[in-house]
Amino acid sequence: MTSQINVCGLHVAVDVRGSGQPVLLINGLGGTLGLWQALHPDLTDFEVISFDAPGVGRSTTPRNVYSMSDLAQFVTRLLDTLGYDTVDVVGHSFGGALAQQLAHQAPERIRRIALVTTTCGWGGVPGTLPSALMALTPFRLWSKRMYTATVPLLAGRHNAEADLLRAFAAERLRARPSIRGYSNQLLAGWTWTSLPWLASIEHPVLVVAASNDRLLPLANSQILATNLPNARIFVFEGGHYLLLNQESGAGAAIADFIRSADLNESETWRTAHVVSPDDLDDSLRSRKRWSPIAFPHALLRRHWRSAKRS
């Protein structure tokens, strides 16, 4: 049931449904409550909490800019207000970055984490230029014609995801973020990296990756799975928005990972892969695409890898 609560002086739209182990869903850039629709059938035996981030959807926009650390503090206050001590977290894209920051700042509030088609921020691997440009502008969420035109650039060759993105056009345009809200999220993500402290996150982490993600390529998920000490990766056929497609199997895998009291009882966890540094190196070397944007990311990634070895 969707309601409005006050968190940090902001009116925040929150949806809480079901009963069982509480699971917090954290959406991607400019994403709203309605975009979790395809995941809910897989989570019927959980108490599922989702929300519109500040400046997004039906939540009010703060006057000041904020960092990823500020957003993690906001989520902690949200959990306090709703009365949850510990939750499992599913973070998609930008929400996956925020889930990492939350685990770093408030590790006691989280049991398990699913990071879906996301990144470590700086030190990651940029996507294609057209998809990156589309993500950088909020105006695609203000015009149905522009939204429809940009779908192929984000979904790539995955027709099912493209069709689902078009089907969500009404929801995205009706509950679009404010310009300031979208810009705040962009700034928070653009100035953030988790590489310096990823190794300190001890939670079990399921890294859910897409085989053909144009926005945040598969290598980003492999970087996370390599640097997180208790992480495994599960790669699904699809693109960046594979969670919109219930038939992808990603939602069922996440539910199995969260549901199992013992991780060894989780089929998802048993069949997911551990990524070694050598596996990651092979994957990064196999990438033929190069851009000036990728160069500083690679330098930062190399720096933190050298620092970790020393």
pLDDT at 291 (0 to 100): 64
> How far is residue 118's CA from residue 12's CA, in Å, rounded to a whole number?
24
Comparison of pLDDT for 177 and 84, the residue scoring more: 84
**DSSP letter assigned to residue 54:** T
Mean pLDDT of 239-262: 94
Among the listed residues 18, 24, 14, the one whose alpha carbon sits nearest the alpha carbon of residue 258: 24
pLDDT at 174 (0 to 100): 77
3-class secondary structure, 122: coil
Mean pLDDT of 22-50: 95
Q: Which residues are catalytic?
A: 93
Mean pLDDT of 3-19: 95
Q: Which helix (H) or strand (E) holds 145?
A: helix 144-155
Based on its alpha-carbon atoms, the radius of gyration of the chain, rounded to whole angstroms, reads 18
3-class secondary structure, 173: helix
Over residues 73-104, the pLDDT tens digits come to 999 999 999 999 999 999 999 999 999 999 99
Comparison of pLDDT for 255 and 175, the residue scoring more: 255
Among the listed residues 261, 250, 246, the one whose alpha carbon sits nearest the alpha carbon of residue 114: 250
State yes or no: pLDDT of 137 exceeds 90: no
Cα angle for residues 255, 196, 204 (degrees, 5° grid): 20
Task: Please classify residue 9 by burial: count the beta carbons closer than 10 Å to its beta carbon, then call 0-12 exposed, 13-18 middle and 19+ buried.
Answer: exposed
Contact indicator for 89, 114 with CB cutoff of 8 Å: yes
How are beta strands 22-26 and 87-92 bridged, if at all? parallel
Task: Please classify residue 104 by burial: count the beta carbons closer than 10 Å to its beta carbon, then call 0-12 exposed, 13-18 middle and 19+ buried.
Answer: middle
- Given CATH 3.40.50.1820, say whether it is the number of domain 2-128+181-309: yes
**DSSP letter assigned to residue 211:** T
Domain ranges of the chain: 2-128+181-309
pTM of the model as a whole: 0.93
User: Percent of the chain at pLDDT above 70?
Assistant: 95
Mean pLDDT of 282-305: 72
Neighbours of 46 (CB within 10 A): 20
